[in-house]
Structure 1
Amino acid sequence: MADDSQGSRDDVRRFRRNYRDEVDGAALYQAMADGEESPELARVYRRLGDVERRHAEFWAQRIRAAGSPAPPPRPSVRTRLLSGLARRFGAGLLVPTVARTERLGRNMYDDQPEAAATSMPSDERSHAFLLGEIRGGVPGSSLARLEGRHRTPGGNAVRAAVLGANDGLLSNLSLVTGVAGSGVLPGTAVLVTGLAGLLAGAFSMALGEWVSVQSSRELAERQLAIEADELAALPEEEAEELRLIYQARGLPEEEAYSLAKRLLDDPDNALDVMAREELGIDPDERGGNPWTAALTSFLLFSIGAIIPVLPFFWLDTRTGVLVSAIAGGLGLFALGAAASLFTGQGMWKSGLRQMVLGLLAAAVTFGVGRALGVAIG
């Protein structure tokens, strides 16, 4: 009897976990539909959301059948934050994150007996495949408009922003605590050191980003020039390449060839299509604007780097380093929690891990600075 009771409790916990996952999925797809500019993709996201809602209701019924009340259909904090990002910045921002989540969960119902007689196992695999296709590119009449935006992993851009601010915060926190730990410099000197570290790091990050994006842009322009020459000299071979791409995505041979031929018969559209499909390049962006990338990198690094420096504007060295460590720890926690939106980890776990590791690094540099200060003094 005890075993049956324990099994029932375990089942209810599993039902509730499935229910929460489906509620979150439905809310996220609805938000992506709301933030999607393409009517075709918006309809796809709404259909996916409808399927997730049906799944949620299935698990709600199982919870009630087991004698427990079903939780309210309220999305998690993480899902609400991601939904806000999708509505504000567009669904493409979340496609990499959602595609990864669907891929990891594509077999989640395969060993759950309640789902065996339903379409849920195949639904989950279908969702994973579809999101993978959206992330990689959607063949069809609106191909040229959809391809570039969804080939660009917007979620990675946001993660890069979080990492940029984190680099600035952690490096400058370690710098000012190490200098302050030496005990040989007044608070004003620590402040100047921190500001110098901010500028040096920000300019270094900006220059590195400029070189990276400019190099990508030059490579893209070279590839586009080669592709334009091939289209002019070998149009049939290019149509065959495009047909093979669409066949690999699941289109029948005749339909794939017809679509490829129709797209390449338009001279104004042919290079755009081949650039997106064969090269994975958005001809409008060509790798991005190096000056925008450099300025963004400079600002993000500076935002993180100024946090541990601010206390030294008003406080002496001893008090300043303590307040700097507290402010830096809170900043690291916030950045770790922000990163968890895209990794799927718990916000508290990710934030605390980031804070502990960052403060440990600062403590080590403080200890090294103290040892050097004693040796020099």
Structure 2
Amino acid sequence: MDERNPPAGSDRGWADHRHRDVSGGWLRPTVFGAVDGLVTNASLIAGVGGVGVSAHTIVLTGLAGLVAGAFSMGTGEYISVTNQNELVQAEVAVEKRMHEQFPDAERAELAERFESYGADRQTAQRMSEAVSSDADKALQFHAREELGVDPDDLPSPLLAGSASLVAFSLGAVLPLLPYLLGVAWLWLAMLIAGVALLVGGMVVGRLTGRSLLRAGVRQLLLGALAVVVTFGVGQLIGISVA
């Protein structure tokens, strides 16, 4: 029998299935970085471009926003993941000391956990003894159950920071493209940003299994709100300065 195509009504289920990446190691900083870069620079360009400044000023503003934002996002993500990992490691160290000092209590706690999953008392105790016989596996199991993480599979701070920096840069350069190519049309920059937001939202919807159109339109509307508000602020400041 082909396990990839089980017969109808079979309770074996799909034997060879895959899950989406939910660890957040690279997906979260990449998505947030790209969207942040796109919305940030589109808003900056709308704010200064709507006042009627020169194309040179818009390019300088956009490039400054790109560089500053990319490094801010990259270092922020790196520090955030590093701190999170250090906190997890500290808690795992506490759990390790508890295993060394109170092994019986930890085994009893593990047995109670198995009972809460539906195992009878004797089965739960045997399972607890089996897991506890290997100190490393017992520690890993307790960390997963009590902390919700795998201490051997923590996200990489360097990967998260790099993904955020690169994604922000790519997102931020899109609304700046017309000006970099010598086409100083604000509406074209906003059109590119709008299309990118819509497509980006649909990609996220594809990754998360949500409605593509709903995810794309939601991201487009939120980005448009930021652009409109920044454009309005630019208009108010420009009028008051004039």
Give the Cα separation in 2 of the matches to 1:283 and 1:345: 30
How far did 1:170 drift?
0.8
Q: Partners of 2:176 and 2:12 in 1: how far apart?
A: 50
Kindly state the Cα deviation for residue 364 of structure 1 after the two structures are TM-superposed.
3.2
Q: Structure 1 CA distance, aligned partners of 2:109 and 2:38?
A: 48
2:25, 2:156 within 8 Å by CA — same for their partners in 1? Answer: no
Tell me: higher relative CO, structure 1 or 2? Use CA pairs within 8 A at least 6 residues apart.
2
User: Is 2:165 the counterpart of 1:165?
Assistant: no
1:150-170 Cα shifts (integer Å, max 9, x gaps): xxx347963553233111111
Q: Paired residue for 2:107?
A: 239
What is the CA deviation profile of residues 45-80 of structure 1, one whole-angstrom value per residue up to 9, with x for unaligned ones?
Answer: x93349xxxxxxxxxxxxxxxxxxxxxxxxxxxxxx
Against the structure 1 CA distance between its residues 307 and 167, is the aligned structure 2 distance closer, same or farther, given a 3 Å change threshold?
same
Distance in 1 (CA, whole Å) between partners of 2:85 and 2:210 is 34
Give the match for residue 13 of structure 2. 48
Alignment of 1:213-228 (within 5 A): 213-228=81-96
**Count of matched residue pairs:** 236
Corresponding position: 1:93 with 2:20: yes
Name the residue aligned to 2:167: 300
- Give the Å deviation of 1:267: 3.1
Q: Secondary structure at the match of 1:284?
A: coil
Distance apart, 1:235 and its partner CA:
0.8
CA contact 1:168–1:305 (8 Å) conserved in 2: yes
How many Å separate the matches in 2 of 1:156 and 1:210?
11
Does residue 1:275 correspond to 2:148, yes or no?
no
Please tell me whether residue 314 in structure 1 is matched to residue 160 in structure 2. Answer: no
1:133-172 pair list within 5 angstroms = 153-154=22-23, 158=27, 161-172=30-41
Letter in 1 for 2:19: G
Q: 1:257 to 1:157 in 2, by over 3 A?
A: farther
Q: 2:51 & 2:204 partners in 1: Cα distance?
A: 33
For structure 1, the 5+ residue unaligned runs are 1-29, 32-45, 51-86, 95-152
Task: Flag the 1:251–1:197 CA change in 2: closer, same or farther, 3 A.
Answer: same
Q: What do the CA deviations read for 1:111-145 (whole angstroms, capped 9, x no partner)? A: xxxxxxxxxxxxxxxxxxxxxxxxxxxxxxxxxxx
Taking a change above 3 Å as real, the CA distance of residues 343 and 91 of structure 1, as seen in their structure-2 partners, is closer
Which residue in the other structure is 1:141 paired with?
none
Query: Runs of 5+ in structure 2 lacking a partner?
Result: 6-10
Scaled by the length of structure 2, the TM-score of the pair is 0.85
Give, in angstroms, the shift of residue 187 of structure 1: 0.8
Counterpart-to-counterpart distance in 2, 1:360 and 1:312: 22
String of CA shifts for 1:271-293, please: whole Å, max 9, x gaps.
223222333332223x4222221
Aligned equivalent of 2:126: 258
Contact (CA 8 Å) 1:155, 1:342: kept in 2 or not? no
CA contact (8 A) 1:174 1:365 kept: yes
Equivalence for 1:39: none
| Other structure's SS at 2:108 match | helix
Report the 3-state secondary structure (helix = DSSP H, G, I; strand = E; otherwise coil) of the residue aligned with 2:13: helix
Partner of 1:80: none
Maintained 8 Å contact 1:210/1:293? yes
8 Å CA contact 1:264–1:270 kept in 2: the answer is yes
Partner amino acid, structure 2, of 1:171 = T
1:327 is displaced (CA, Å) by 0.5
Higher helix share: 1
- 1:49 to 1:263, Cα distance in 2 relative to 1, 3 A: closer
Is the counterpart of residue 206 in structure 1 residue 171 in structure 2? no
Does residue 340 of the first structure (1) align with residue 205 of the second (2)?
Answer: yes
Residues in 1 aligned to 2:140 and 2:210: alpha-carbon distance in whole angstroms? 38
Paired amino acid for 1:48: G
Query: Identity over aligned residues, as a percent?
Result: 36
**Is the contact made by 2:29 and 2:77 (CA closer than 8 Å) also made in structure 1?**
no
